[in-house]
Structure 1
């Protein structure tokens, strides 16, 4: 976890407002995880305590506090020297509409500095993010449900799905950077070590991969990185067949050609968010090989 520093003015204001019973800001601590998870439950988000812990381990954040209670959260992740993503921006329902979300976002953006920043906005948050200089660049569809076992076409000659090996790390990291537009080797390294992964191998070369991990109500598929829609479908179908009858989730590019196909696998569309960028990020998404996110917060 990397530290997030609030400037002197923000910190002084936070201390003063906390004493007056108003809302103040301070850095997110590990001890805030349970309170943050409780806030996400209020939003009817599925995040477990373990999901929050995974997110915080690779980033940092800020909380809004009132009378010693956490009433808002926001996290950021710094990718390399010039890119970042923001997420898990939550304000207690009782305090929404009072500018707390804007203060949380301003603190994160100050910490991100001149970096180009990505986030995924709910309908409720889009206006705020637009005022902060974010522009819409696409849409993500959330699909979930009880997976169905579905036969698919045979792989072409020279193609196979296999487990990752120790020699794949750098290749998969490079594929992920191109697909996501974000250099995030530490996250990918943890996923490959701690979670389940499969590699799409074409004539002895790793050209794609996907990860499945515990999340929320069941498991989430993502990221999915592949050179074309056929190989992306093969990677997703692998998990649906392996976990047929169980709850799966996946977040995909709306223009990927996958949403209607996912419906047939039992993974129905249940929501959508808008991809928004402040600054400029390289092309990402299906056209660059990125078919599914790690999460809507981290990208």
Structure 2
């Protein structure tokens, strides 16, 4: 049986680490989400998890992860409460704890329609929308001609510089994990200059395209087409709804609308960096 409200309010919130990966995956599964152990491993290694242990059985009754990009931005993701404790204020308590720990640091997140009212209550404002797409890439509509090749170790510093410029904050701790985390990593190049990069990483029965950082929509398309050619799995990605050209092209190539989420921000008016060249996140859980 679920615990009473007073007992829930007294349960300690602790930091989670890589050793909690299976418990986090179990919690995802409990809520009907995919287990996503590969993604949880990255988030718990590169970010800080927050969780509440379930005193009535082994495992977690709630969890989330915060990925920090310095004093100017952090991202909240994977906010989950076990089904038997849902609608008892646990998610609100966990979020208030995260907000208190973050202090003055601006926070971003992607919200479903169910979660958005709570986040608005906690001071988050919708600043945009993101569309999730999934499907087998058909290559029916070719990408524009661009030079795209597999990334090498020698590209890392240029990739980091480009990412910092476009993302608007330092995410070295994530980007340097991409060669091990992703199955494929591509860079676009023009006149010896790297003009974009993108990764393809495994997630259950799909390959997720992300991040996608590119000079223009055509470069983003060329990167995605190159990655799609490297897998037989369905692709999944999240694209800001403002990138209409890319969304139209992806749908013409077999990807279908799955859901639309709100991009929300607290304590600043807009995301840093250049949204015109930021086409897809590594994962919405990390902003």
Assess same fold via TM > 0.5: yes
Cα pair 1:150 1:241 within 8 Å, conserved: no
Partners of 1:87 and 1:189 lie apart in 2 by: 20
Structure 2 gaps of 5+ residues are: 1-5
The CA deviation string for residues 255-290 of structure 1, in whole angstroms up to 9 with x for no partner, is: 102223212222111112111011125445641x11
The residue number in structure 1 matching 2:224 is: 236
2:146 pairs with 1:176:
no
Task: Please report how far the alpha carbon of residue 70 of structure 1 lies from its aligned counterpart in structure 2 after TM superposition.
Answer: 1.2
Partner of 1:109, secondary structure, is helix
SS at match of 2:229: helix
- Are the equivalent residues in 2 in contact too, given 1:75–1:86 (CA < 8 A)? yes
**Higher deviation after alignment, 37-46 or 97-106:** 37-46
**C-alpha RMSD of the superposition:** 2.2
Q: Aligned pairs, how many? A: 277
Partner of 1:38: 26
CA drift of 1:293 comes to: 0.9
Equivalent residue number for residue 26 of structure 1:
14
Q: Does 1:214 align with 2:202?
A: yes
Match in the other structure for 1:55: 43
Q: CA deviation at 1:87?
A: 0.6
- Please give the TM-score of this superposition, normalised by the length of structure 2: 0.88
Q: 1:223 maps to which residue?
A: 211
- The answer on 1:161 being equivalent to 2:148 is yes
| C-alpha deviation, 1:124, in angstroms | 1.0
Distance between the aligned counterparts of 1:28 and 1:79, measured in 2? 18
Number of the residue aligned with 1:141: 131
Mapped partners of 2:227, 2:275: distance in 1: 19
Question: Quick one: structure 1 residues 279 and 178, their matched pair in 2 at CA, closer, same or farther if it must change by over 3 Å?
Answer: farther
Q: Give secondary structure in 2 for the equivalent of 1:242.
A: coil
Shift of 1:227: 0.9
Distance between the aligned counterparts of 1:38 and 1:233, measured in 2?
36
